[in-house]
Structure 1
């Protein structure tokens, strides 16, 4: 299947299965899960360094997020790190476990949405689904720490260390390449384990690359739009940060779910939406023929039994 046909099939399936609405629901649950995830991340950071330095190092997070959304997240991080360091370390393990469990709700809903777009019924047990959500959430927290390090910590280190300008430019460019590669692998892992089906494809393939490119394009595009043309502060006032963060999560999740439809089309997972009208008609005729053949066999067996 060509790339263009694959994308058109995915777009048709995403529209038929209400991907924008599913993305809005997932974005809401991820928003409610974000701050428990921040608690877990700060707690983990507090095990190896002074948590008070997190707020200083994450001021550069606006490089990767809309300004209003970055301001909201930085404000929450400052509140978390303003607590005494002893309280952050004393119950660190319990806090991390509880925070990851609370944050797993958003990931669990993302897994459910991906299965719906694949046209699959998730037959895994509640324990298996929850374990999957917890594992993905824990991995997401670790990836978030790495991403923050690339976005915020590396430039801070370069400001302190005296390096050649050419090396500085190379390191700054390389951190974004590494971050993009990490996002691609993360999406590939999500598409590999979230749908309740057996897959023999690799983690990184054409569908994953398309999904990662979509996510990066819509995320960067939305951030630029908000920073250059958006005027949410005048409209929403103090709620501007919340609204922008929700919208950023929504466009990002829509890209992820559209990418899931691309991956489903690439794997030739057949759903009602992926079939053309002629293919649907041929499929119905084939099913009707199978039913008729089954009825004929049943009536023949019944006649034989009545005769004997």
Structure 2
């Protein structure tokens, strides 16, 4: 029996749509494609005045110490990669990324089960997956730079520009506001275009705002871990940061799906009591996080 209670409806749909399983699948393929994409961009830097030493010195200032050795080796291999390896890297990145986005599209279509355009061809779906992969990888990089390593970047700015120290709070607020706006717009377009459904763009904004807020908030928690315990490796050794990066991506993808669920709920029961139910959004998140502990 269908219910219009947001809490019960969300629990039912989180389980029926297997959100946690699809989030893990997407996180894996996005992670697999993430480093080849970075390798591609870094290889292109060989044709610019930027040297490997300059790039490595710059990157080491804004990454956890536990990743320094790994990143150093990886950058060295990327700079020495041949054109053949570069081509293979791009192909593998596009393949893995498109697989990840195919999973995102599948899950969003499962959530938005009504009003979908089911006449898209295979090539159309694959083309959109590749394009979305490139855009999403850029968003992941922006997220890591602004949110996860943002505090270290601000410290770097204060070090080289001492007169900016009294503006640290302003820099923090600007970073948060810009990130929220950028992510909200991107997620709204994601909800609007990927499922191939017929809906108004503004109807996708509530879920986009929720996903952006959860994504940014969780990224700040991850940033706190990087700043506070970035050198601790008692459990996973040198892979600690990579494992936490995977967990960060897994939860962020989960938040993306939760935003789609909110949109679906509001568009189904918008005439009942959306304002009261919006106040219980935190219950969905608390329930989901509690079930994973």
Do both proteins adopt the same fold according to a TM-score greater than 0.5, normalized to the shorter chain? yes
Instruction: Look up the match of 2:126.
Output: 130
Instruction: Look up the match of 1:56.
Output: 57
Looking at structure 2, the residues matched to 7 and 243 of structure 1 have their Cα atoms a distance apart, in angstroms, of 31
Looking at structure 2, the residues matched to 216 and 99 of structure 1 have their Cα atoms a distance apart, in angstroms, of 29
Please state how far the C-alpha of 1:209 moved relative to its aligned partner: 0.6
Distance 1:227 1:57, change over 3 A: closer
Ranges in structure 1 where 5+ consecutive residues have no aligned partner:
270-308
Deviations 1:240-269 (A, max 9, x none): 344323222222222111122112222329
Q: Tell me how many residue pairs correspond in the alignment.
A: 258
Deviations 1:125-151 (A, max 9, x none): 221111111111222343445456543
Looking at structure 2, the residues matched to 29 and 36 of structure 1 have their Cα atoms a distance apart, in angstroms, of 11
Instruction: Look up the match of 1:109.
Output: 103
Please state how far the C-alpha of 1:207 moved relative to its aligned partner: 1.7
Looking at structure 2, the residues matched to 156 and 226 of structure 1 have their Cα atoms a distance apart, in angstroms, of 15
Deviations 1:260-283 (A, max 9, x none): 2112222329xxxxxxxxxxxxxx
Instruction: Look up the match of 2:19.
Output: 19
Deviations 1:25-59 (A, max 9, x none): 22222222222222234245556562634433334
Looking at structure 1, the residues matched to 77 and 143 of structure 2 have their Cα atoms a distance apart, in angstroms, of 24
In the alignment, structure 1 residue 236 sits paired with structure 2 residue 232: no
Higher normalized contact order (CA 8 Å, seq sep 6+, divided by chain length): 1
What are the within-5 Å matches in structure 2 for residues 1-308 of structure 1? 5-6=5-6, 9-43=9-43, 50=50, 52=52, 53-59=54-60, 61=62, 71-72=66-67, 75-83=69-77, 85=79, 94=87, 97-98=90-91, 100-102=93-95, 103-119=97-113, 123-147=119-143, 150=146, 151=150, 156-202=156-202, 205-221=205-221, 224=224, 233-268=233-268
SS of 1:234's equivalent in the other structure is coil
Looking at structure 1, the residues matched to 266 and 197 of structure 2 have their Cα atoms a distance apart, in angstroms, of 14
Instruction: Look up the match of 1:299.
Output: none
Which is higher, the Rg of structure 1 or of structure 2? Answer: 1
SS of 1:124's equivalent in the other structure is coil
Deviations 1:85-137 (A, max 9, x none): 5757x679847743541333322222222222323675422211111111112
SS of 2:255's equivalent in the other structure is helix
Ranges in structure 2 where 5+ consecutive residues have no aligned partner:
270-293
Distance 1:133 1:117, change over 3 A: same
Looking at structure 1, the residues matched to 38 and 195 of structure 2 have their Cα atoms a distance apart, in angstroms, of 27
Looking at structure 1, the residues matched to 75 and 230 of structure 2 have their Cα atoms a distance apart, in angstroms, of 30
CA RMSD of aligned residues (A): 3.9
Instruction: Look up the match of 1:292.
Output: none
Confirm or deny: 8 A CA contact 2:207 2:262 kept in the other structure: yes
Confirm or deny: 8 A CA contact 1:11 1:258 kept in the other structure: no
What is the TM-score when the length of structure 1 is the normalising length? 0.66
